[in-house]
Amino acid sequence: MQTVFPPPAQDESSSVLSRNYRILWRWHFYAGLFVMPFLMVLAITGSIYVFKPQIESALYGDKLFVAASAQARLGYDKLLSIAATALPADAKASSIAVSQDPRRSTEAVFRLASGDSSSVYLNPYTGQVLGTLSVEHRLLKQVRQIHRDLLLGRWGGWLMELAACWTLIMLGTGIALWWPRKQFSVWGTLLPRLSLSGRAIWRELHLVVGVWVSIGALFFIMSGLPWSSFWGKNFQAVVTWASSTPAQAVKSEHVHHTDKMSAPMKMQDLPLANVAWAVGATTVPMSQDSPQQSLSIDQVVAIAARSGMQTYQLALPGKSSDVFTAAYAPGAGEFVRSDLDRQRTLHIDQYSGKIMKDLRFTDYSAVSKLVTLGVALHMGEYFGLANQLICAAISLALLAMTLTGFVMWWQRRPQHSVGAPKRVLQPPPSIRRWKSYMAILGVLFPLMGVSMLAVWLGDTLFFRNRA
């Protein structure tokens, strides 16, 4: 979003007010120049992904749903063996969905030799294979990955995180530029004057609508950053470490003798479609040494049922030291609502059936609960369709802000020039306050801090003598 504001009406090129205004305008311009393409991607993909339940039901309804029946369901072991016949012989089962919904099919996920995963959908009453879908290449998975990292992996994730952080600067400087400096008026400040025309109406819409939508934009950024590639990963690790207790650490130290030297597995490493943020960085315990045969899936399902879990995804052990993990995390599969207090993770020894660790929403720290609520609202999962519509409206309004900013810039830019606001060679003392704000942001978000230093150095070196 490249906001281009004209200088104050009075020509005070040497005044403190004017210089302060031009400096804020310059930072707002450069922040918008960088953020605009990424913000457009975030807005479009976010508006699509928020309606994931409806879209997937429309696209894959014949695989996701079956006719409810009074007939007894087949056992999960039987269903998994049937699902295996729909894929190459070297496919390895990694998880299966357990559900009490009489209309849901059973989804079994297999890891293929290529490294990708494939879901097989079955009628739980008859065992009929309803079809298969790629886990990585289905539409909404691709939309989500574009939203998170542009399908570029770690570097794409860092770029999107930088864009989100620079949006904070764009919002802060934008509000400062909007802030009334003369007598307050509702029209032109809180409501746009639609009688204007030309570039003036674009500026008015950008100013007024931008201020209103900034509240939603700020929420989106702060609720999305915990999932980011650099800051989010480290923040999650710190919160998980701070939330753990010595008793919990001892309880989870069941290490198989062949894996003592290997790094402990984290919840986010398990083959699950979605893992609750609060438990993503927690350590997965290991099954104890045992000469016994591994439990069947049906036995594990019965153990989870006795513990009160009825609907969840069950990650299957891939090695002799692994455990069964039953996880209820809204947003995965049929879990389309964030029933926060129902989030739960159960780790079960694959030989004895002993519950190694039981993590519930009540066990989350205050920070983890707040992040969980923010994520649920961010993804439109907390209060149904109304939540989805609000999220989509905010996303589309942000898209409109980028478009109006682009139009304003295009209309005023000189030929063969970027059209950036001119650099102020003698910043007023009042700008120190803004520098301190940006320094705080740079410390809180190190990746952003490094980029701000790079921008400042570039601006200083290349525009030293340009007023």
In SS3 terms, the chain reads as CCCCCCCCCCCCCCCHHHHHHHHHHHHHHHHHHHHHHHHHHHHHHHHHHCCHHHHHHHHHHHHHECCCCCCCCCCHHHHHHHHHCCCCCCCEEEEEEECCCCCECEEEEEECCCCCEEEEEECCCCCCEEEEEECCCCHHHHHHHHHHHCCCHHHHHHHHHHHHHHHHHHHHHHHHHHCCCCCCCCECCCECCCCCCCHHHHHHHHHHHHHHHHHHHHHHHHHHHHHCCCHHHHHHHHHHHHHCCHHHHHHCCCCCHHHCCCCCCEHHHCCCCCCCHHHCCCECCCCCCCCCCCCCHHHHHHHHHHCCCCCEEEECCCCCCCEEEEEECCCCCCCCCCCHHHCEEEEEECCCCCEEEEEEHHHCCHHHHHHHHHHHHHCCCCCHHHHHHHHHHHHHHHHHHHHHHHHHHHHHCCCCCCCCCCCCCCCCCCHHHHHHHHHHHHHHCHHHHHHHHHHHHHHHHHCCCCC
* Residue 425 pLDDT grade (very low, low, confident, very high; cuts 50, 70, 90): confident
Per-residue confidence (pLDDT) for residue 9, from 0 to 100: 42
* Residue 131 pLDDT grade (very low, low, confident, very high; cuts 50, 70, 90): very high
Answer for the pair 148, 161: CB distance below 8 angstroms, yes or no. no
Q: Which pLDDT tens digit goes with each residue over 26-59?
A: 888 889 889 999 999 999 999 999 999 999 999 9
pLDDT, averaged across the chain: 87
Per-residue confidence (pLDDT) for residue 334, from 0 to 100: 61
**Rounded to an integer, what distance in angstroms lies between the CA atom of residue 370 and that of residue 223?**
9
* Domain positions in the chain: 16-49+159-225+393-462
Taking residues 351-370, report their average pLDDT: 95
* Residue 409 pLDDT grade (very low, low, confident, very high; cuts 50, 70, 90): confident
Joined together, the tokens standing for residue 153 give 């992996």
Across the beta sheet with 344-349, what order do the strands follow? 129-134, 117-122, 106-111, 92-98, 312-315, 323-328, 344-349, 355-360
* Residue 10 pLDDT grade (very low, low, confident, very high; cuts 50, 70, 90): very low
Joined together, the tokens standing for residue 22 give 């031009």
In SS3 terms, 3-63 reads as CCCCCCCCCCCCCHHHHHHHHHHHHHHHHHHHHHHHHHHHHHHHHHHCCHHHHHHHHHHHH
CB-count exposure of residue 367 (10 Å: 0-12, 13-18, 19+): middle
Q: How many other β-carbons are positioned within 10 Å of the β-carbon of residue 179? A: 10
Signed CA dihedral, 214, 431, 434, 467: sign only: positive
The answer to whether residue 467 scores a pLDDT higher than 50 is no
Per-residue confidence (pLDDT) for residue 464, from 0 to 100: 58
Per-residue confidence (pLDDT) for residue 249, from 0 to 100: 45
* CA angle in degrees (0–180, nearest 5) for 166-167-168: 85
Q: Among 150-159, 251-260, 402-411, where is mean pLDDT lowest?
A: 251-260
The answer to whether residue 197 scores a pLDDT higher than 80 is yes
Taking residues 141-158, report their average pLDDT: 95
- 233-242: Cβ within 8 A, 24+ apart: 236/277, 236/280, 236/281, 237/281, 239/281, 239/365, 239/367, 239/368, 239/371, 240/280, 240/281, 240/282, 242/365
Answer for the pair 170, 441: CB distance below 8 angstroms, yes or no. no
Q: Which pLDDT tens digit goes with each residue over 247-271?
A: 454 444 444 444 444 678 999 999 9
Per-residue confidence (pLDDT) for residue 56, from 0 to 100: 92
Joined together, the tokens standing for residue 33 give 């120049």
User: Which residues 6+ apart lie within 8 Å of 440 measured at CB?
Assistant: none
The answer to whether residue 336 scores a pLDDT higher than 70 is no
